Structure 1
């Protein structure tokens, strides 16, 4: 029966043994042998326990589940060590899982680590035939496509040299040329294109566009998020062996980027005013900050409602300020009621004001909103609420940068 699913992963686990010392690996093997040949169950148990104690367990993948439909183009993102390559190797069948199920419907062609699937002693020509037949073609079918493969690889006379003499770029050229000429139903590319030169990368992307339009399912791993956003329809974010988030490629890429920026940025200390009730002596305090939306598109409206309390004495010079920062901490915009000559309540009591942006000019990403109460034109900070709200701007990939600036293009001279 025809399945709409190209790849289904359910409850996938992968555990590796790691060793503190080289001899621990040998000891584990010896204890394992002892557990198999021991005559008594008690002795077998002791050997088995000692064998397990020699190694530490590293969970490369932990309860990973997802489904990829036929014809989807899916980006796999995550930091080094997050389990991306392990996942792809299991999907390709070159690595066995420790638990869970993986179902693959269709012929898979993969570009994994450099030289994967190549016999280093064979020539490029011999490896073309070897890989083609491993991927399900007959020798005659490989011969029919051979001229197209070597033309795409463009490695000249090296096609008849042992591949152990190849540079990393030549490896990628030949491997990619083979993969796209075997009519794969599923194509997997793991960072391989980063090795090739710019012209070859452009040629590869163009060819991948062609086979995507023909209905081939593509899994694409890259640290270049703009490639993921431009080329993929959906994305899966792996974090420490788990699926942290999955969905539309542009949104997931932005979320991943912003979390990485937040973790690496060294934010300056945010001034913090008194967080006590105004009735207990504080001149004024912010009680509540709420944004009208947590997710919006560029040019959507956004408002921030600010509730504050003024104590038992009026503050005629009181002002409210709002600051918008990106995930890296970059200060984008920071108006206040004093600079904008907006009058706000300053008498004792509870008051609510709204900061309104009719059309948000921000491009996709995660942003935080700070709110502060100040006096004397901003010289005195009465209260400050850092990261009071967080807003995600989500849209299809249409521009770069932080903000959208109205613009136009004009051809001055066509040459």
Structure 2
């Protein structure tokens, strides 16, 4: 493959497991040698590849800060200047002076990420590292990455979250069996990959999975979660209204950039429509407590079929998912007349004289 990533660009790297994403990043970082060809990186780079890579398990967290930072090119004096900030960001308390072999996976990634971002890199390489930390730490990390990006650094970002890639990255690379299948604008590439995967993994008719996805963590441990959703009806005709009532709870005092999204999908998983409050510039309550939102479709354009609704609660403009309920509601559109296709498109016929 041949790639050129300009300075200051944020690039998402996506693909199925085994496509070569991690291998590519390891080659870029120099931990693997390419079979042939060359890699050139201009400026200082920092990488978060394998969890805790470069840490000595018998050393304390503080000692590993110096060890890891030296591997990233910092001098002892430079680490001295940043040490307090690194420890504060990692937020692991008294564990900073305990051996890292006693750390949880979350503590590992907190410390590793904190060291990497405080090197002030020109190129930051991240391989799914944020998936290990809790949601609050993800939010803090993404805010810090935004600061690094704002000063002109280049970011290479491997993620299985297509929404993170679409909202965080300018361009994306889709890898398939070690080759670049598509390289272009992030939303375009992510959508093409999603469509490809839906077509490859679509279950036979009538065998779609009805199990709803729940929060990745216990609900009282996340900043906000969805309490319940209800629909005005589960059976309607084309052009009739549909209303979805959504109740959510905020568990922190205040969350910045909270948004709510609704997705309408077919039984095959095909994404039909997915608005959210951020895209439509609607502010929703983010103070501690329980709140309600109404999502109303005054005239349903869908034709005959059964459809499912996903509801998601996000922060940071959709970068971090706080709660996501998949296939939480289902409705059927029954047309009293013959129709072809998925949606009704307003049109008219004109017959010209012969």
What range is the shorter-chain TM-score in? 0.5 to 0.7
Q: Structure 1 CA distance, aligned partners of 2:56 and 2:4?
A: 33
Q: Which residue pairs with 2:83 in the alignment? A: 146
Q: Which residue pairs with 1:368 in the alignment? A: none
Q: Which residue pairs with 2:149 in the alignment? A: 212
Displacement of 1:333: 3.3
Q: Structure 1 CA distance, aligned partners of 2:192 and 2:86?
A: 39
Q: Which residue pairs with 1:80 in the alignment? A: 17
Kept in 2, the 8 Å contact 1:107–1:185? The answer is yes
Q: Structure 2 CA distance, aligned partners of 1:249 and 1:329?
A: 19
Kept in 1, the 8 Å contact 2:203–2:268? The answer is no
Displacement of 1:268: 3.6
Q: Which TM-score applies when normalising by structure 1?
A: 0.51
Seen in structure 2, the aligned counterparts of structure 1 residues 133 and 326 have a Cα distance that, compared at 3 Å, is same
State which of 198, 217, 222 in structure 2 corresponds to 1:261.
198
State which of 112, 116, 132 in structure 2 corresponds to 1:179.
116
Q: Structure 2 CA distance, aligned partners of 1:267 and 1:254?
A: 22
Q: Which residue pairs with 1:93 in the alignment? A: 30
Seen in structure 2, the aligned counterparts of structure 1 residues 329 and 186 have a Cα distance that, compared at 3 Å, is closer
Q: Structure 2 CA distance, aligned partners of 1:91 and 1:328?
A: 35
State which of 177, 182, 193 in structure 2 corresponds to 1:240.
177
Displacement of 1:197: 0.5
Displacement of 1:334: 3.7
Q: Structure 2 CA distance, aligned partners of 1:216 and 1:253?
A: 23
Q: Secondary structure at the match of 1:67?
A: coil
Kept in 2, the 8 Å contact 1:325–1:333? The answer is no
Q: Which residue pairs with 1:190 in the alignment? A: 127
Deviations 1:327-376 (A, max 9, x none): 745788348xxxxxxxxxxxxxxxxxxxxxxxxxxxxxxxxxxxxxxxxx
Bigger Rg, structure 1 or 2: 1
Gapped runs of 5+ residues in structure 1? 1-63, 270-323, 336-376, 388-401, 404-415
Deviations 1:65-113 (A, max 9, x none): 1110000000000111111001000100011111122111111101111
Q: Structure 1 CA distance, aligned partners of 2:126 and 2:271?
A: 34
Displacement of 1:241: 1.0
State which of 302, 305, 310 in structure 2 corresponds to 1:333.
302
Q: Structure 2 CA distance, aligned partners of 1:106 and 1:267?
A: 51
Deviations 1:135-178 (A, max 9, x none): 11110110010000000001011111111111110011001100
Indicate the structure whose relative CO is greater, using CA pairs within 8 Å and at least 6 residues apart.
2
Q: Secondary structure at the match of 2:139?
A: helix
Q: Structure 1 CA distance, aligned partners of 2:302 and 2:29?
A: 48
Displacement of 1:378: 4.3
Aligned length: 226
Kept in 2, the 8 Å contact 1:267–1:329? The answer is no
Q: Structure 2 CA distance, aligned partners of 1:94 and 1:73?
A: 22
Kept in 2, the 8 Å contact 1:111–1:188? The answer is yes
